[in-house]
């Protein structure tokens, strides 16, 4: 088993991917929802965030960028040595078939990416990719919610009464300050990905949309030791 860490706050708002049509796996100017060659994947795994440096990040359509600086919140060399290279599941969900936490969990580990549906024109998409840093899954969001409440978060944002009304119902990942990206593609279209908005609803948006926050996710190596109880007052601390 591995300990999974999901960043509590956003490192900024950037595009998931924004390659122009015909570049890499992109079939439109709204980018591609194939995480294996996504522009944000590169930022997190080999460019500014990974190297705790400044540079450029995807922002807008057709390869546009904006300056980004992770010199205070990127990964240190010590952190890099504590992170495991993992297989990230890239299965997607159709919007009309998996509106539940368990349904998303199954879809994330499935083979539906945009290979047989949507406008992918028969272009094969991978169902997994290896890497050190990823993003949350839609199911991660649901499993932090109070049992029996989370499934209401997978409906359209207009269903505001179905996604928890108290802090006790809403999970620790919830923030009214920003919406954030997930790693999972919407299988009905080649350029859309699932997101979580500031009211807690899971929906889909264009991969090039730069409105959503980025919350990096990593898995610790199996030999890492922790202290603490994992609570607010006694959080886990890496000791070796």
What gap in Å lies between CA 142 and CA 24, rounded to an integer? 32
Per-residue model confidence (pLDDT) at position 214: 97
Query: Cα 89–90–91 angle (5° rounding)?
Result: 100
- Which tokens in the block code for residue 77? 């060399």
pTM: 0.91
Please check whether residue 238 is in contact with residue 82, taking contact to mean a CB–CB distance below 8 angstroms: yes
3-state secondary structure of 237: strand
- pLDDT for 50: 97
Closest to 21 measured CA to CA, from 182, 195, 208, 210: 208
Are 12 and 181 in contact by the 8 Å Cβ rule? The answer is no
The C-alpha atoms of residue 139 and residue 99 are separated, in whole angstroms, by: 10
pLDDT of residue 58: 97
DSSP 184: E
Other Cβ atoms closer than 10 A to 205:
19
pLDDT at 117: 52
User: Any idea what the Cα angle at residue 133 is, between residues 37 and 11, rounded to 5°?
Assistant: 100
Q: Are β-strands 4-6 and 65-69 bridged in parallel, bridged antiparallel, or unpaired?
A: unpaired
pLDDT of amino acid 152: 77
The series of mean pLDDT values per 10 residues for the chain, 240 residues long, is 86 96 90 95 96 96 96 94 95 75 90 68 82 96 80 66 72 81 91 89 92 95 82 73
Residue among 109, 88, 107, 89 at smallest CA distance from 45: 88
pLDDT at 231: 67
Instruction: Please give the Cα distance from 124 to 130 (Å, whole number).
Output: 17
Q: How far apart are CA 234 and CA 68, in angstroms?
A: 32
Q: Which residues pair with 142 in a beta bridge?
A: none
Contact 29, 20 (CB under 8 A): yes
Distance CA(161)–CA(159), nearest Å, equals: 6
For the record, the structure tokens of 103 come out as 């349904």
């Amino acid at each position: 088993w591995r300990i999974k860490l999901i960043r509590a706050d956003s490192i900024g708002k950037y595009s998931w991917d924004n390659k122009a049509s015909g570049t890499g796996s992109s079939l439109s100017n709204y980018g591609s929802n194939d995480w294996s060659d996504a522009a944000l994947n590169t930022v997190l795994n080999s460019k500014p965030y990974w190297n705790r440096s400044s540079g450029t990040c995807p922002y807008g359509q057709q390869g546009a960028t904006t300056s980004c600086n992770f010199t205070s919140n990127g990964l240190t060399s010590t952190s890099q040595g504590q992170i495991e290279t993992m297989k990230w599941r890239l299965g997607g969900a159709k919007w009309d078939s998996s509106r539940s936490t368990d349904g998303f969990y199954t879809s994330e580990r499935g083979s539906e990416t945009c290979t047989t549906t949507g406008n992918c024109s028969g272009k094969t998409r991978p169902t997994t990719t290896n890497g050190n840093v990823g993003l949350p899954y839609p199911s991660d969001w649901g499993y932090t919610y109070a049992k029996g409440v989370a499934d209401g978060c997978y409906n359209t944002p207009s269903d505001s009464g179905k996604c928890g009304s108290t802090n006790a119902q809403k999970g620790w990942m919830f923030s009214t300050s920003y919406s954030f990206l997930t790693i999972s593609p919407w299988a009905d279209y080649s350029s859309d990905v699932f997101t979580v908005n500031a009211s807690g609803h899971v929906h889909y948006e264009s991969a090039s949309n730069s409105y959503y926050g980025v919350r990096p996710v990593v898995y610790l190596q199996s030999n890492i030791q922790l202290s603490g109880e994992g609570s607010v007052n006694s959080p886990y601390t890496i000791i070796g």
